[in-house]
Chains A and B, each alone.
Chain A
Amino acid sequence: MSWEVVIGLEIHTQLATQSKIFSGASTAYGAEPNTQACLVDLGYPGVLPVLNEDVVRMAAMFGLAVNASVAPRSVFARKNYFYPDLPKGYQISQYELPIVEHGELFITAADGNEKRIGITRAHLEEDAGKSTHEGLGSFSGIDLNRAGTPLLEIVSEPDLRSAKEAVAYMRKIHSIVRYLGISDGNMQEGSFRCDANVSMRPRGQQEFGTRTELKNLNSFRFVEKAINFEIERQIDVIEDGGEVVQETRLYDANKDETRPMRSKEEANDYRYFPDPDLLPVEIDAAYVEALRETLPELPDAKRHRFIDDYGIRADDADILTASRALGDFYEEVVAATAGEPQGVANFVVGDFMGALNKAGLGIEESPVSAAALAGLLDRIKDQTISGKIAKEVFEAMWSGEGSADEIIAAKGLKQITDSSAIEAIVDKVIEANPGQVAEYKAGKEKLIGYFVGQVMKETGGKANPGQVNQVLKQKLS
């Protein structure tokens, strides 16, 4: 039988605020345990939550970015359950009336076509704290610094049909939240993580199969691997005559498998009800319209514009628009150089990003600025140096040896374009290689490459390759 997988994702993205969603404690990562958990975060008797305005703005921006409706009225509810990382015994979340509903985005499917993925809703909630178990004997230690950190939970429709689509969707969301500046998307620090609902059904069947929920997937690679493992597991279960059990499973990256989470003492009954300490959040149309004006260009729009305006290849446009900073960098270089946009794209995607990745740096940390890079590309354009020499110059720029012009001058890398100088070297090469000259003249024209190589060798790569070719052909004919 042929099986089809049905996947929906719930992405938790931490919003990039200074303070927490309901308190004035800092959200900075990595502080000493419980030094960023104020009385509100600790659920102290008598304290009350007050909503952070930036959290509302960020959620609304996300809504606009995915063509969703921003609710004029949304309500915070309490999700009640006991757990040590949940200080109040309830999590403040949105349940019946979320702030964002009915959105969509487009991914590139396996067949190369665009595919629409529905976004059911996005709601605001507070994060929980963290338990540690190392070195505490029969105890666990609770650090509530993360408690109360604002999260936007983005829930997709079950529109995804492969692990690859799920990853493409997750990358798209990742890129959108970073474009909007509403999340740093840092997956190592848990700022962007995801749960996947996975079920199988015979191809062609309408109803969904029983789903399992894969928890806390915190890298794109793990999402893909966990879903693929789960697809195989569920098919095996069904084909062996069994039934998939609806349950929550954890992905174990070390073993590359999913396993059921240890069952809680009882079935959960979260007893959601409107939080009486918080009032309904009202957002008027004027606020939404004003916010719309502040939206930056989003990845899809930027990608289309790069292809249309700069005439660059689609795959380069994909890479260059994956982050707003990279797209901005590329455009800065294009604006500052006389070089062709495709040439700029080649250099940025190739040498420049290669160097960043190798050094493990973000684009903001690049030792070579957009203006400096433009200065280098100008020298290729005006034929001061060849593309090959440019790589050498770039490496020197990266190590902080100066601007392109300074390095070219200091190292004497300027291309030789004086035709009399080139002719003299060509004459010398022809004279030194009588055998090859004879063969060439006998019709072995491929040998032109050999002669070019010899000339370049003589000039330390500095001769203009086009000119060398021309002079050689002239002299050998």
Chain B
Amino acid sequence: MAAELHQRTLSELAAGLEAGDFSSVELTEALLARVADHDGELNAFITVTAEQALAAARAADEARAAGNAGVLGGLPLVHKDIFCTRDVLTTCGSRMLENFVSPYNATVVDRLAGAGAVILGKTNMDEFAMGSSNETSYYGPVRNPWHLEYSPGGSSGGSAAAVAARLAPAATGTDTGGSIRQPAALTGTVGLKPTYGRVSRYGMIAFASSLDQAGVITRSSADAALLLGVMAGFDERDSTSIDHPVPDYTAALSESLDGLRIGVVKQHFDDGLDAATGAAVREALAVLEANGAKLVDVDLPNIDLSVPTYYVVAPAECSSNLSRFDGVRFGHRADNPEDLFDLYCRSRGEGFGAEVKRRIMTGTYALSAGYYDAYYLKAQQVRHLIADDFKSAFEKVDLIAGPTSPTPAFRLGDKVDDPITMYLNDIYTVGANLAGLPGVSTPCGFVDGLPVGLHLVGPHWGEEVLIRCAHNYEQLTDWHRACPEDFS
């Protein structure tokens, strides 16, 4: 029986625990064994917290026996290593935090634990979430379960690979420019990034504060709805967390596609899109249309500027956010510094990898005297234009659909030398971050054996319409059930 537990979705596992088919300890042991067997190939984990997981599983089983099971009572999850976890190593994929044991829990971590979730470990990621291939991690690249020579995408690549390879039924992730949705698309999983302000950022190590948002990677939209209901909500420790009511997201699962107006953006199907990927996405749109949705052409005239805008705003914020890593209170400190300046320059020079340093420098430049207006201010103005474009579009449609990523997964090493090519991976996803909109990627086919994602973007607080649409699509197709052969 235990052999097939890993194939079940979170919702199926919840039902099994509830029915008493198996215990959380059995489930946790089974998954920890899978992690031990398979993570050598994938490198999806930075830290495995077996002991804590088993203790939490026992506690969850006891709670259930006492009739006090939480919403997620005994369900195993993994956290992206960007979330601070009390008394557990929290590296953010960086050498800078190689020995950093967080003294506190992120709000997301507390909420999920409070609902009874069991944390199996912390997943690999691009360093400080800066990357789209997981190759910037100090702990080595993560491999795509669909093809081990390929990237799982990034920055939440470890979370996506762990879920795709059935090492965990669900994972947390963070999305600053596409870091949940793009790896979900590249690994055949479901990735949900909520509205900015929906989920607390407290305890999530900041990359770009006005863009970062926590979300989930799962094997179905129903699972995403289940987790989001626990994670979402106001947090008094985050000034940008919004006190907006949290609906029952699972209620959206029972609604049909009837009357749903889906916007199709012309710019999302232009030259940059791989032809076979485009065909898979168009086929998905046809399925939605055939089942009650209405396709409407919409225009986002400034969307082509979203990547350059993003690559000013995000580095500017990160250049300042990462100044706290100075070798004084925590983190890497250079040996025998000559003076204060040397302490700073070497601790940071040694502690950060090349991509992080590049982004810090790009942002430093964009904010510096004489360049602020031309770069930072200009980008914030263009950001406003892009947000306004979305606003106009959502007057006509309920959501916007298109490809998540311009290509399926690419070979490890293929894009590392050219930052611009790498940045263009985010072309369809960054717009939602700039405008603070929710987005979801759900599997919609394969190209040469590699998964393709369908990307849905909704208006602010529009998570329900995304879940409704993605869930219906998943009921009509089976792409999200596909499992990489070596990990069945």
Residues of chain A whose beta carbon lies under 8 Å from any beta carbon of chain B: 39, 42-51, 78, 80, 82, 84, 87-90, 142, 265, 269, 271-273, 276-279
From A45, A49, A82, B92 is in contact (CB under 8 Å) with: A45
Cβ contacts under 8 Å, B367 to chain A:
80, 271-273
B375 to chain A, nearest CB (A): 11
Are A88 and B237 neighbours in the complex by a CB distance under 8 Å? no
Name the residue of chain B whose CB is nearest to the CB of A273: B367
For the complex of A and B, the 5 pairs showing the least CB-CB separation, nearest first, are A89-B323, A276-B209, A271-B367, A276-B210, A43-B324
From B104, B317, B329, A43 is in contact (CB under 8 Å) with: B329
Are B316 and A273 neighbours in the complex by a CB distance under 8 Å? yes
Instruction: Kindly list 8 other residue pairs between chains A and B, CB separation below 8 angstroms, not including A49-B239, A50-B237, A80-B320.
Output: A43-B324, A45-B206, A47-B202, A50-B236, A80-B323, A89-B324, A271-B372, A276-B209
Are B372 and A46 neighbours in the complex by a CB distance under 8 Å? no
List 30 contacting pairs A-B, 8 Å CB cutoff, sorted by A.
Answer: A43-B324, A44-B103, A44-B324, A44-B329, A45-B90, A45-B97, A45-B206, A46-B84, A46-B102, A46-B106, A46-B204, A46-B205, A46-B206, A47-B203, A47-B237, A48-B201, A80-B320, A80-B367, A84-B326, A84-B328, A87-B329, A88-B324, A89-B320, A89-B323, A90-B323, A269-B368, A269-B369, A273-B316, A276-B208, A276-B210
B414 to chain A, nearest CB (A): 31
Are B320 and A273 neighbours in the complex by a CB distance under 8 Å? yes
Interchain CA distance A279-B239 in the complex, whole Å: 7
Interchain CA distance A39-B203 in the complex, whole Å: 10
Cβ contacts under 8 Å, A49 to chain B:
239
A89 to chain B, nearest CB (A): 2
Q: Does B376 contact A (CB under 8 A)?
A: yes
Are B100 and A45 neighbours in the complex by a CB distance under 8 Å? yes
Interchain CA distance A169-B379 in the complex, whole Å: 43
A35 to chain B, nearest CB (A): 14
Are A87 and B104 neighbours in the complex by a CB distance under 8 Å? no
Main secondary structure, interface of B, reads loop
Q: Does B410 contact A (CB under 8 A)?
A: no
Instruction: Flag B306-341 by CB within 8 Å of A: 1 or 0 each.
Output: 000000000011011001111011100000000011
Within 8 A of A (CB), among B169-221: 201-206, 208-210
Are A50 and B320 neighbours in the complex by a CB distance under 8 Å? no
Are A90 and B320 neighbours in the complex by a CB distance under 8 Å? yes
Cβ contacts under 8 Å, A44 to chain B:
103-104, 324, 329-330
Cβ contacts under 8 Å, B204 to chain A:
46
Q: Does B304 contact A (CB under 8 A)?
A: no
Interchain CA distance A84-B343 in the complex, whole Å: 11
Cβ contacts under 8 Å, A84 to chain B:
326, 328, 340
Interchain CA distance A271-B324 in the complex, whole Å: 15
Are A82 and B376 neighbours in the complex by a CB distance under 8 Å? no
From A39, A271, A278, B103 is in contact (CB under 8 Å) with: A39
Name the residue of chain B whose CB is nearest to the CB of A37: B329
A21 to chain B, nearest CB (A): 12
Q: Does B344 contact A (CB under 8 A)?
A: yes
Interchain CA distance A87-B344 in the complex, whole Å: 12
How many interface contacts (CB-CB < 8 Å) are there between A and B?
97
Are A82 and B344 neighbours in the complex by a CB distance under 8 Å? yes
Interchain CA distance A39-B90 in the complex, whole Å: 15
Are A78 and B329 neighbours in the complex by a CB distance under 8 Å? no
Are B324 and A45 neighbours in the complex by a CB distance under 8 Å? yes
B242 to chain A, nearest CB (A): 10
A59 to chain B, nearest CB (A): 17
Interchain CA distance A445-B324 in the complex, whole Å: 86
Name the residue of chain B whose CB is nearest to the CB of A88: B324
Are B368 and A271 neighbours in the complex by a CB distance under 8 Å? yes
Q: Knowing A45-B97, A45-B205, A265-B341 touch, does A279 contact B320 (C-beta < 8 A)?
A: no
Interchain CA distance A279-B328 in the complex, whole Å: 29
Interchain CA distance A23-B378 in the complex, whole Å: 33
Main secondary structure, interface of A, reads loop
From B238, B323, B341, A48 is in contact (CB under 8 Å) with: B238
B117 to chain A, nearest CB (A): 19
Interchain CA distance A272-B368 in the complex, whole Å: 9
From B103, B239, B326, B372, A50 is in contact (CB under 8 Å) with: B239
Cβ contacts under 8 Å, B92 to chain A:
45
Are A277 and B106 neighbours in the complex by a CB distance under 8 Å? no
Q: Does B240 contact A (CB under 8 A)?
A: yes
Interchain CA distance A36-B32 in the complex, whole Å: 41
Are B326 and A82 neighbours in the complex by a CB distance under 8 Å? yes
Instruction: Flag B67-106 by CB within 8 Å of A: 1 or 0 each.
Output: 0000000000000000110000010100001001011101
Q: Does B472 contact A (CB under 8 A)?
A: no
Name the residue of chain A whose CB is nearest to the CB of B212: A276
Within 8 A of A (CB), among B350-404: 364, 367-369, 372, 376
B377 to chain A, nearest CB (A): 9
Are A51 and B239 neighbours in the complex by a CB distance under 8 Å? yes
Name the residue of chain A whose CB is nearest to the CB of B370: A269
B395 to chain A, nearest CB (A): 25
Cβ contacts under 8 Å, B202 to chain A:
46-48
Are B330 and A271 neighbours in the complex by a CB distance under 8 Å? no
A144 to chain B, nearest CB (A): 8
Name the residue of chain A whose CB is nearest to the CB of B345: A82
Interchain CA distance A186-B210 in the complex, whole Å: 39
B215 to chain A, nearest CB (A): 16
Cβ contacts under 8 Å, A279 to chain B:
239-240
Interchain CA distance A247-B236 in the complex, whole Å: 43
Interchain CA distance A88-B238 in the complex, whole Å: 17
Cβ contacts under 8 Å, A265 to chain B:
341
Cβ contacts under 8 Å, A269 to chain B:
368-369
A87 to chain B, nearest CB (A): 6
A96 to chain B, nearest CB (A): 11
Cβ contacts under 8 Å, B102 to chain A:
45-46
Interchain CA distance A269-B104 in the complex, whole Å: 34
A45, A46, A48, A49: which has the most chain B beta carbons within 10 Å? A45
Are A271 and B320 neighbours in the complex by a CB distance under 8 Å? yes
Cβ contacts under 8 Å, A50 to chain B:
236-239
Name the residue of chain A whose CB is nearest to the CB of B211: A276
Interchain CA distance A49-B240 in the complex, whole Å: 10
Cβ contacts under 8 Å, B106 to chain A:
46
Interchain CA distance A44-B202 in the complex, whole Å: 11
Are A82 and B364 neighbours in the complex by a CB distance under 8 Å? no
A77 to chain B, nearest CB (A): 10
Are B237 and A48 neighbours in the complex by a CB distance under 8 Å? yes
Name the residue of chain B whose CB is nearest to the CB of A22: B239
A133 to chain B, nearest CB (A): 13
Are A39 and B104 neighbours in the complex by a CB distance under 8 Å? yes
A51 to chain B, nearest CB (A): 7
Cβ contacts under 8 Å, A51 to chain B:
239
B205, B323, B344: which has the most chain A beta carbons within 10 Å? B323
Are A277 and B344 neighbours in the complex by a CB distance under 8 Å? no
B329 to chain A, nearest CB (A): 5
B149 to chain A, nearest CB (A): 33
Interchain CA distance A142-B237 in the complex, whole Å: 26
Interchain CA distance A444-B206 in the complex, whole Å: 95
Interchain CA distance A87-B368 in the complex, whole Å: 21
B473 to chain A, nearest CB (A): 34
Interchain CA distance A277-B83 in the complex, whole Å: 17
Cβ contacts under 8 Å, A88 to chain B:
323-324
Name the residue of chain B whose CB is nearest to the CB of A80: B320
Interchain CA distance A39-B105 in the complex, whole Å: 12
A87, A142, A276, A277: which has the most chain B beta carbons within 10 Å? A276
B213 to chain A, nearest CB (A): 13
Name the residue of chain B whose CB is nearest to the CB of A44: B330
Are B329 and A278 neighbours in the complex by a CB distance under 8 Å? no
Name the residue of chain B whose CB is nearest to the CB of A85: B328
Cβ contacts under 8 Å, B203 to chain A:
46-47
Cβ contacts under 8 Å, A272 to chain B:
367
